[in-house]
Structure 1
């Protein structure tokens, strides 16, 4: 894992990527101005940015990528001391090399991980799927017995994805991304898996969660499915509503991830991404959102119905009319009119048929 290929030193002003409006300032901001370089959050955020650019099949000039040279040169020491971050480090290096970073370090890191037995250190199937995907990007094969069957079983239960569960939502969508090699190979999913994504899409639209809704649309696109126009309208409105401002975001809790997913989606389906003029240095990405989401309003209103709660959308629409805001009511009406399988989604979201458990009396100690 030595012999790192260094970039040739060039005058920054001579390269157009260094000018305001190119991608280089955005990379520099993520590399230097959001998180402490090299910590787990830094690896996550920079891995997400570079992963989106890789999924869009971008090739970037050396000067733009050179902001990551210190990370690449320190990767061997980092992974030796932090083997628990090996998959994160491999992910970032893989994306860098997809984008044009020279040196072949990814393949050497993959071999080192295999030699160290780190493929056996993953604790769940999604991490195993990601590692298998990353290894395959470097021509290495790892086999996890029964992995695809377990992933398919998990993804084929639409009921899971019709109620708020961020962990399950993340796992569903990223399993699709890994199986599709981020759009590099065709993917045909079972109808139940597509239904699961439609349930999650209806939930995300009702919540106004453009982050999750954008990933749902990407996963559906990779699976060759038609994207609902209602969901795309919501995401296009957000596309024009992001505000990128100079200055540090104190806790890095801005809307950077929603922005990245939005750019990824429209870069994929319309070849239109990262067209803003980015200035160098710290920046924050903001998007106005309601303090209380329509999803939460509807969830609270439905639970308040008690024994009157029903899986029938029309009945619940009437009963909950005065218990939710105009915005929440209008959002649900839009979903009912245009979201695929909305009736199935609402029946599951209402949880009217879910029996209340009757616990046996505890035995005396």
Structure 2
């Protein structure tokens, strides 16, 4: 006689089911496939699934069948979007959709010299990484030297600068081939990542901090438990709503934190998406003290002091009760906090 009693509770979809619903929404419901933001969003979710080794249900990627079939025509007509299109193609193949099309498209992009159209070193690095995935080796020692020189300049990353911060994390992604190889980072580059992590934590920027934690893992660095515990808690604030538009929502924070969670062995892709649309909102728990810290230091003028021990009490008074908890957590989260604050103070 069985002792198991069925309570008639609804089955909560597992990870693979939740991922399949997300894929279907990004592929079909949020934007039209001729919208460049469709390319951006779908390149992002496929990249996250492919680089984390996601195991998907059979048929989960069927919404991309027509897209994959038409990639040659789309790439040749829209070569300006080649990085998105190649990324989608290669990730679909690595996730077991199709096989040899990516090699042919990479050879075509190489013959057309599309990577030579890039002015940005970051975008050129992404392009060369894509081509290399299908065996087209484009070694550019000068480019690699410039990338390392940028990420080794740690003083860049003690100041709030979102553009530089995201360039740093993405350079590490490309140099490491998303965790496949050792990116051979100098200690100065590890310091840069930790400084950006401190800025992100002080700003309570879950998107950027999740990227930093993934980049540190790819680089073989030590990831702060304080940072990761906070990201895990913040993931409870995502709400998935049915909608036919994804404009101005928190989809990127949702995807990146779930990507981090898969490496950190945390529960990823919280919530269950509707079959009829997806709009992601996030309820942040607190506002970070970073802005108050910066304003206080600016108004101190010549009285600024880069010695954290001397400034701790004054800064604690400046950020208010809620900011104190975050500031204290930041100090405890990273051994380089004193060096970070010295640069953040901007003493002439």
TM-score (norm 2): 0.90
Residues 326-365 of structure 1 correspond to what in structure 2 (within 5 A)? Answer: 326-353=321-348
Q: Provide the secondary structure at the position in 2 that maps to 1:141.
A: coil
8 Å CA contact 2:21, 2:273 repeated in 1? yes
Bigger Cα displacement from structure 2, 181-190 vs 44-53:
181-190
Corresponding residue number in structure 2 for 1:33: 29
8 Å CA contact 2:243, 2:278 repeated in 1? yes
For residues 278 and 168 of structure 1, the distance between their equivalents in structure 2, rounded to whole angstroms, comes to 33
The answer to whether structure 1 residue 256 and structure 2 residue 244 are counterparts is: no
The answer to whether structure 1 residue 80 and structure 2 residue 80 are counterparts is: no
The answer to whether structure 1 residue 47 and structure 2 residue 43 are counterparts is: yes
Corresponding residue number in structure 1 for 2:53: 57
1:130 to 119, 126, 130: 126
Deviation at 1:271, TM superposition (A): 6.4
8 Å CA contact 2:235, 2:270 repeated in 1? no
Q: Provide the secondary structure at the position in 1 that maps to 2:56.
A: coil
For residues 221 and 340 of structure 2, the distance between their equivalents in structure 1, rounded to whole angstroms, comes to 18
Corresponding residue number in structure 2 for 1:325: 320
Deviation at 1:110, TM superposition (A): 0.4
Residues 98-109 of structure 1 correspond to what in structure 2 (within 5 A)? Answer: 98-109=94-105
Deviation at 1:228, TM superposition (A): 1.0
Corresponding residue number in structure 1 for 2:272: 277
Deviation at 1:191, TM superposition (A): 0.6
For residues 16 and 125 of structure 2, the distance between their equivalents in structure 1, rounded to whole angstroms, comes to 38
Deviation at 1:115, TM superposition (A): 1.7
Corresponding residue number in structure 2 for 1:3: none
For residues 161 and 148 of structure 2, the distance between their equivalents in structure 1, rounded to whole angstroms, comes to 18
8 Å CA contact 2:240, 2:278 repeated in 1? yes
Deviation at 1:198, TM superposition (A): 0.8
Bigger Cα displacement from structure 2, 38-47 vs 317-326:
317-326
Q: How many residues get paired?
A: 336
Corresponding residue number in structure 2 for 1:139: 135
For residues 169 and 84 of structure 1, the distance between their equivalents in structure 2, rounded to whole angstroms, comes to 25
8 Å CA contact 1:294, 1:331 repeated in 2? yes
Q: Provide the secondary structure at the position in 2 that maps to 1:63.
A: coil
8 Å CA contact 1:59, 1:100 repeated in 2? no
The answer to whether structure 1 residue 114 and structure 2 residue 110 are counterparts is: yes
Structural RMSD (CA): 2.2
Change (3 A) 1:178 1:323: same
Corresponding residue number in structure 2 for 1:71: 67
Deviation at 1:166, TM superposition (A): 1.4
8 Å CA contact 2:216, 2:222 repeated in 1? yes
CA deviation digits over 1:284-320, x for unaligned, max 9? Answer: 2222237854211211121111121111223333334
Q: Provide the secondary structure at the position in 2 that maps to 1:285.
A: strand
Deviation at 1:136, TM superposition (A): 1.4
Bigger Cα displacement from structure 2, 133-142 vs 47-56:
133-142
8 Å CA contact 1:60, 1:100 repeated in 2? no
Q: Provide the secondary structure at the position in 2 that maps to 1:340.
A: coil
Change (3 A) 1:18 1:202: closer
For residues 77 and 18 of structure 1, the distance between their equivalents in structure 2, rounded to whole angstroms, comes to 37
For residues 130 and 313 of structure 2, the distance between their equivalents in structure 1, rounded to whole angstroms, comes to 50
Corresponding residue number in structure 2 for 1:158: 154
8 Å CA contact 1:31, 1:46 repeated in 2? yes
Corresponding residue number in structure 2 for 1:5: none
8 Å CA contact 1:18, 1:24 repeated in 2? no
Note the residue ranges of structure 2 that are not aligned, 5 or more in a row.
1-12
Deviation at 1:342, TM superposition (A): 0.4
